[in-house]
Amino acid sequence: MRRSLTSTFLVALAAMLFALPQVVQAQETRTINHLRGKTEISGQPTRVVAMEFSFVQALDALGVTPVGITDDNQPKRIEQLVGKKIDYSSVGTRLEPNLELVSTLSPDLIIADDLRHSAIYSQLSQLAPTIVLNSWEGDYQTIKDSVVTIAAALGDKAKGEKVIAEHDARIKSLIGKIPAGENRRFLLAVANPDSMSLHTSSSFSGSVFKAMGLTPAVDGKDAVESGAGLERLVAVNPDVFLVATDSPGTVFEQWKGNAAWRNISAVKNGMVFEVDRNQFSRFRGLKTAELMVKETLAKVYKVE
């Protein structure tokens, strides 16, 4: 009887000790709407796990270094993504995040991608408050909105809005350098060993082109049209053609000697440019958008 009394007392004491910080944090609780519903977040999360590159860039813009990133086990990419070496733990690949590693980091916020991580949303939610956003198929506006949502989740929505306003101002001044009356059709494609993946008007790069006042060469509801052969490319016939590569041995090398390739408008006019696949296709962030605009200006219009 005495023993049970003592243990009851201890349990009550423990409960009080645990409840104490909870009470302190509960002062500021907000509800974040996202693609998988609503998530309650309290306080200001500091241990954030980011499961897509664009989220890492958003966090960086908001002054938060994620504790865990699904970096596809390619730390160099993260360095390229944020422009400096940052201290984080890898939690596996974007396709298959290692939930055990996520759990050991004891995160207080997880940012997941709709397409790749919706299936594990409930598991992620058990580890930490989780918000699900569209990065994989996100266009420029979606990515910008995501920055504000992430800022709100971090407890400082105003900072997100400020970051976007500053970004918009920089983009606006860059776009001003594009000559008036530009009506050429722009295409970004990723080169593979036997075909290309064409990025349409609804892809990130396509919507960045649109934001620049340029015309994407392929209109489409799906962000990417994959498996495009040379004949398809000839049919699309882009006037300005950015080819994203990251390893050698693609059709971009093989097609160069082909007579049909030489008939593509961009090829005839010397408007084919090789670009970095990470920056133009994988990252999809604010910084990426600025870099894409700058590179397009430098390559196509020769203005810095």
Partner 1 sequence: MHNGASNPLAVGAVFLILLAGAVVAGIALGVSNLPVLRALQLLFSPDGSADSALVWDVRLPRVALAATVGANLAIAGALIQTLTRNPLASPQTFGINAGASLVIVVCLIVWPEIRGPGMVWPAFAGAAAIGFAMWALSVSGTMNDMKLALAGISLQLVLAALVQAILIANNAAQDIVYWLAGSINGAQWSKVWIILPFTLAGGAVALIAGRHFDVLALDATTSLSLGQNARRVGGLAALLIVVLAGSAVAVSGPIGFIGLLVPHIVQRLVGGDHLTVLVLSAICGPLLLNSADLLGRVAAFPAETPVGIVTALIGAPTFLLILWKQRVR
Backbone dihedral angles phi then psi of residue 166, each to the nearest 5 degrees: -65, -40
- From 130-138, 144-152, 170-178, 221-229, span contacting partner 1 (CB under 8 A): 221-229
Q: How far is the CB of 270 from partner 1 (least distance, A)?
A: 17
269 touches partner 1 by CB under 8 A:
no
Considering only residues 56, 190, 243, 300, which one is a binding residue for partner 1 as defined by CB under 8 A?
A: 190
Among residues 179 and 257, whose Cβ is nearest to partner 1? 257
137 touches partner 1 by CB under 8 A:
no
Among residues 95 and 180, whose Cβ is nearest to partner 1? 95
The CA distance from 267 to 248, in Å, is 20
- From 83-91, 153-161, 181-189, 252-260, span contacting partner 1 (CB under 8 A): 252-260
229 touches partner 1 by CB under 8 A:
yes
231 touches partner 1 by CB under 8 A:
yes
234 touches partner 1 by CB under 8 A:
yes
Question: What is the full DSSP assignment across the chain?
Answer: -HHHHHHHHHHHHHHHHHHHHHHHHTTSEEEEEETTEEEEEES---SEEE-SHHHHHHHHHTT---SEE--TT-HHHHHHHHSS----EE-B-SSSB-HHHHHHT--SEEEEEHHHHGGGHHHHHHHS-EEEE--TT--HHHHHHHHHHHHHHHT-HHHHHHHHHHHHHHHHHHHTTSPTT--PEEEEEEE-SS-EEEE-TTSHHHHHHHHTT-EESS--SSSEEEEE-HHHHHHH--SEEEEEESSSSSHHHHHTT-HHHHTSHHHHTT-EEEEEHIIIII--SHHHHHHHHHHHHHHHS---
Considering only residues 35, 174, 230, 291, which one is a binding residue for partner 1 as defined by CB under 8 A?
A: 230
Q: How many residues bind partner 1 (CB under 8 A)?
A: 34
115 touches partner 1 by CB under 8 A:
no
Considering only residues 194, 213, 219, 301, which one is a binding residue for partner 1 as defined by CB under 8 A?
A: 194
98 touches partner 1 by CB under 8 A:
no
249 touches partner 1 by CB under 8 A:
yes
Among residues 33 and 226, whose Cβ is nearest to partner 1? 226
Applying the rule CB under 8 A, the residues between 36 and 95 that interact with partner 1 are 72-74
Backbone dihedral angles phi then psi of residue 6, each to the nearest 5 degrees: -55, -45
31 touches partner 1 by CB under 8 A:
no
Considering only residues 67, 78, 128, 251, which one is a binding residue for partner 1 as defined by CB under 8 A?
A: 251
The CA distance from 107 to 48, in Å, is 6
248 touches partner 1 by CB under 8 A:
yes
Binding site for partner 1 (CB under 8 A): 72-74, 190, 192-195, 197, 225-232, 234-235, 246-249, 251, 253-255, 257-263
